């Protein structure tokens, strides 16, 4: 297992569209292990492969208090979404220190392969539903700040670039 560096907004690589996984093999299981290690080390509740510059449709999530209930979603597809939507506060490991409100479906059903290549359908609400939608956006090259106004997004971009310059120099 290895910790992988997480891309930071506004890195253009965060906007790449991930391709479907062709086969769930040892390479993918090793990627999943690295993603889980990286997510837990960063104290996140989710991570998409896009965020570590791997452009394949793989997500890991753990919304449990105990941090012992990992969920692996490979080639996820939303098979049902609720009529109701809710606004929730979101954060992102690729936009550190920024939290803002985003409207999402209240509940979803997602069909995906697990790390053994088995197909599973999961019903989710609450934070799990929010996190699934946030991570699936990453696979489409979308970062949550894109739901915010252009003014807010530009301020965040300026702040992130300044932060990155200061870390580098
Ligand atoms: O995709 C990511 O960058 C992970 C992200 C997942 C996420 C958090 C909150 C709402 C939607 C998606 C994070 O884990 S951010 C850090 C975090 O643990 C957190 C931030 C805000 C609320 C709850 C948790
Ligand atoms: Zn994110």
C-alpha–C-alpha distance, residues 138 and 113, integer Å = 18
Let me know: does 112 contact 74? Beta carbons within 8 Å: yes
Tokens of 57: 């449709």
> How many angstroms does the Cα of residue 130 sit away from the middle of ligand 1?
9
CB distance 34 to ligand 1 below 6 Å: no
The question of whether 135 is a catalytic residue gets the answer yes
In this prediction, residue 1 carries a pLDDT of: 84
52 CA to middle of ligand 2, Å? 11
Helix (H) / strand (E) containing 153: helix 150-168
- Average of per-residue pLDDT across 124-139: 98
For residue 150, what pLDDT is reported?
A: 98
pLDDT band of 169, cuts 50, 70, 90: confident
Backbone angles phi, psi at 142, to 5 degrees: -110, 130
Residue 97 has pLDDT above 90, yes or no: yes
* Model confidence at 148: pLDDT above 90: yes
Q: Is the CB of 131 under 6 A from ligand 1?
A: yes
What pLDDT digit, counting tens, does each position of 29-54 carry?
999 999 999 999 999 999 999 999 99
CA pair distance 11, 122, nearest whole angstrom? 31
In testing the pocket of ligand 1, which one of 11, 46, 124 has its CB within 8 Å of the most ligand atoms? 46
Q: How many CB atoms lie within 10 A of CB 90?
A: 19
> pLDDT tens-digit profile of 73-86?
999 999 999 999 99
Which residues have C-beta within 8 Å of that of residue 31, sequence separation ≥ 6? 49, 54, 56, 58
Q: Are 10 and 157 in contact (CB under 8 A)?
A: yes
Nearest to 98 by CA among 8, 5, 14, 4: 8
Helix (H) or strand (E) holding 88, with range, is: strand 85-90
């Amino acid at each position: 297992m290895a910790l992988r560096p997480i891309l930071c907004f506004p890195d253009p690589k965060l906007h790449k569209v991930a391709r479907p996984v062709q086969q769930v093999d040892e390479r993918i299981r090793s990627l999943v292990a690295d993603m889980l290690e990286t997510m837990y080390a960063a104290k996140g509740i989710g991570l998409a492969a896009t965020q570590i510059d791997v452009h394949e449709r793989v997500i890991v999530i753990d919304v449990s208090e105990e941090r012992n209930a990992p969920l692996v979603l490979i080639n996820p597809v939303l098979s049902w979404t609720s009529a109701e939507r809710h606004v929730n506060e979101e954060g992102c490991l690729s936009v550190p220190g920024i939290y803002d409100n985003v409207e999402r479906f209240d509940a979803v059903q997602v069909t995906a392969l697990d790390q053994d290549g088995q197909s599973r359908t999961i019903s989710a609400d609450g934070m799990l539903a929010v996190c699934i939608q946030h991570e699936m956006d990453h696979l489409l090259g979308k970062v949550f700040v894109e739901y915010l106004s252009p003014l807010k997004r530009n301020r965040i971009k300026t702040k992130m670039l300044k932060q990155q310059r200061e870390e580098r120099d």
